[in-house]
Amino acid sequence: MMRTPASLLIVGGGVAGLALALELADTRPVTLLRPASDDHGASRWAQGGIAAVLSPDDDIEAHIQDTLDAGDGLCDVGAVRFTVEHGRQAIDWLIQLGMPFTPDPDPRSHYPYHLTREGGHGARRVIHAADATGRALIETLLHHVKRHPGITLHDDFMVIDLLGDGTGCLGARCLDRAGRLHELRAGDTVLATGGASGLYRHTTSPHPACGEGMMMAAELGCELRNLEFQQFHPTCLYDPDGPPFLISEALRGEGGYLRTLDGHRFMPSIDPRAELAPRDIVARAIDTEMHRSHSDHVWLDMTHLPADQVMRQFPTIYGHCIGRGLDITDSPIPVVPAAHYSCGGIASDLTGATDVPHLYAIGEVAYTGLHGANRMASNSLLECLVFAHAAADRLKRAASRPRPGTDVSPIVIPPAHTTRLAPDRIAAMMERLRTIMSQYVGIVRHDEGLHRASAQLAALSQESHELRARHAPDIALSRLDQAARLATLVVAAARERRESRGLHFNLDCSAHATEPPHPSRQRV
């Protein structure tokens, strides 16, 4: 007897979610929730590129070692090897889809596409589409997703909770644009919802995730790991009157210098890799310099490089800065660190599976062990692609085992409460949360600050949770409640790690611990 394949629900439409949908749509029915706001998600704003061993002058072991070095002793070696060894396969798949990577202008090159170098990498291994790789990647994948008959794409639902029982995850509870509550039941559910940079006031994305997916998974029983390791990108454009805008690490890879406001190049005295040291080192160096000189930013100087090279390789950055009145070929760029990437997340294996049956996590929302205590540049998009393919392979094998009552069709659910909380109160509470996190749980931390953050966030979390229980379902209120509870877990993880490692730097315990490092673990 023929059996209908189990339905699949994917929450999130960045690179990870789109790639997974494409890989599975020929095997089982796929419903992809991709709200319009995903067009502004982290994937689209990725400028640098995708790290993979593609040149004959590079090798797998070198990429593995560079990743382990950047991760400061906390990477899972198996996850690193798995990811790096599948890099070329992921790039070849994108090329087959028509991804417009930048060609190498040198006809003598052994590889047809241009490869650049970024911090932590000992070789040129970052393939890119000019300086807008994320945008080109999203557009390429979305082009195919929209045309695939096996994918139902919804842009009108926002997930606020996961559904579950003793057998595992059953799907998600959502709100539509009119505020109506729906249940979407599925045989398997995949979270591809992004990280938690939105817990901070200043980020590299205009619409950052606040860790909603992490908290929803934790509520269903998943373990969260390494939440204390929040990466701050060293170089966000300092533009108080403009939107957040990332200044790619590739500018430093092509020869850009970091300078103090009086013109001194400071990185060579801090690390032998200078501007190409891992991001945690560079971000702390900039933060230290800003505090020393009481300045709002430092300079990233490209003016010593040929102007035509800068404009050709970085047209997006050049164009944005020109629009803000700054010619980067003639004047240095004011830059400041900003929250960028979450190295921790939902504990998952090499197929994206979590501790909860029928629930998967891929992309930034997941903790795979690849990044350890600090993500190396351009390994993130690689992780999205490799683990999307790995999860697809596992889910294809599960496609013949449908679960009863898991047809992904919206079921309207009457809410328990109809009174809505004023939006300005929600916004004020979210701003308070971000202020606490930025003040006490940023690039440099100390015990007293973490203690204060813990107490203040506990009170804010309790308040937001009670407000959510007493009011009508609301996307902003749900997001606030989940962000507040996740922030308390981040602080708890930071307080438990009695050492400084990678992205977690505590002035009161500034050295590595003497015992072997281990991932932090949090449950609710």
For the segment 414-449, what is each residue's pLDDT rounded down to a tens digit?
A: 777 778 999 999 999 999 999 999 999 999 999 999
pLDDT at 412: 74
Average the pLDDT over 210-231 and give the result. Answer: 97
> Residue 522's beta-bridge partner residues?
224
Closest CA to 140 of 175, 95, 173, 184: 95
Which of 389, 412, 435 finishes a domain?
Answer: 412
We report the CATH number of the domain holding residue 292 as 3.90.700.10
In this structure, are 30 and 143 located in the same domain? yes
- For residue 204, being part of any structural domain is answered with no
Same-domain check for residues 389 and 473:
no
Question: Domain end: 412, 442, 472, which one?
Answer: 412
- Other C-beta atoms closer than 10 Å to the C-beta of 53 total 20
Residue 442, domain member (yes or no): yes
Please check whether residue 203 lies inside any domain of the structure: no
- For residues 456 and 512, what is the distance between their CA atoms, to the nearest angstrom? 28
How many domains would you assign to the chain?
A: 3
Verify whether residue 479 is a known catalytic residue: no
Q: How many CA atoms lie within 13 A of 275 on its CB side?
A: 21
pLDDT of residue 402: 61
pLDDT at 396 over 80: yes
Q: Which residues pair with 173 in a beta bridge?
A: 161, 183
The residue segments making up the domain with residue 260 are: 234-339
Say which amino acid occupies 256: G
Residues 17 and 151 in one domain: yes
Contact present, 5 and 25 (Cβ < 8 Å): no
The Cα–Cα gap between 193 and 362 comes to: 8
To the question of pTM greater than 0.85 for the whole model, the response is yes
Q: How confident is the model at residue 297 (pLDDT cuts 50, 70, 90)?
A: very high
Sheet of 366-367, strands arranged across: 366-367, 345-347, 224-225, 521-522
> Among all chains, which residue has been given the structure tokens 């803000």?
324
For residue 425, give Cα distances in angstroms to 88, 145, 252, 437. Answer: 49, 38, 42, 19
Distances (CA, A) of 59 to 51, 64, 65, 400, 452: 12, 9, 10, 39, 47
Give residue 415's pLDDT: 75
Q: Does the residue 217 lie in any domain?
A: no
In a domain, 139, yes or no: yes
Query: Could you report the per-residue pLDDT of 96-125, keeping only the tens digit for each?
Result: 999 999 999 888 888 999 999 988 899 999
Given 370, 385, 412, the domain boundary residue is 412
pLDDT digits over 437-480, tens only?
999 999 999 999 999 999 999 999 999 999 999 999 999 999 99
Looking at this protein, which amino acid is placed at residue 220?
Answer: L
Question: In Å, how far are 170, 185, 223, 396 from 9, measured between CA atoms?
Answer: 10, 8, 21, 14
Residue 387 in domain: yes
Name the nearest CA neighbour of 252 among 204, 206, 338, 310.
310
Burial 442-470 (b: 16+ CB within 10 A, else e): bbbbeeebbeebbebbbebbeebeebbee
- pLDDT band, residue 57 (cuts 50/70/90): very high
Q: What is the mean pLDDT of residues 388-396?
A: 96
Shared domain check, 296 and 367: no
Mean pLDDT of 41-68: 88
Based on the domain organization, do 299 and 347 belong to the same domain? Answer: no
* Residues 377, 298 share a domain: no
CATH at 436: 1.20.58.100
CATH of the domain at 78: 3.50.50.60
Q: Are residues 430 and 488 in the same domain?
A: yes
CA distances from 146 to 155, 291, 396 (A): 12, 48, 21
Model confidence over 141-191: pLDDT tens digits? Answer: 999 999 999 999 999 999 999 999 888 999 999 999 888 899 999 999 999
Task: From the candidates 225, 279, 375, 445, give the one annotated as an active-site residue.
Answer: 279
Together in a domain, 358 and 334? no
Position 484 in a domain: yes
Residues 468 and 508 in one domain: yes
Same domain (yes/no): 15, 61: yes
Tell me how far CA of residue 167 lies from CA of 86, 164, 391, 395, 493, in angstroms.
32, 7, 20, 17, 29
Mean pLDDT across the chain? 93
pLDDT at 1: 32
d(CA 191, CA 194): 9
Task: List the structure tokens of 159.
Answer: 């997930």
Is residue 171 in a domain? no
- The pLDDT, as a whole number, for residue 65 is 98
Sign of the CA dihedral running 214, 188, 172, 206: positive
> Average pLDDT in the 391-407 region?
76
The reply to whether 335 and 262 lie within a common domain is yes
Over range 510-516, report the average pLDDT: 93
Decide if pLDDT at 400 tops 60.
no
Q: Can you tell me the mean pLDDT for 375-403?
A: 89
* Residues recorded for the chain: 524
Q: What is the pLDDT of residue 127?
A: 96
Distance, CA of 474 to CA of 486 (rounded, Å) = 18
* Residues with Cβ within 8 Å of residue 431, at least 6 apart in sequence: 201
Do 381 and 437 fall into the same domain?
Answer: no
Measured N-to-C along each axis, helices 447-470 and 475-496 cross at an angle, to the nearest 10 degrees, of 150
Alpha helix stretches (DSSP H) within 12-132: 15-24, 42-45, 60-70, 77-85, 87-97
Q: How far apart are CA 230 and CA 244, in angstroms?
A: 18
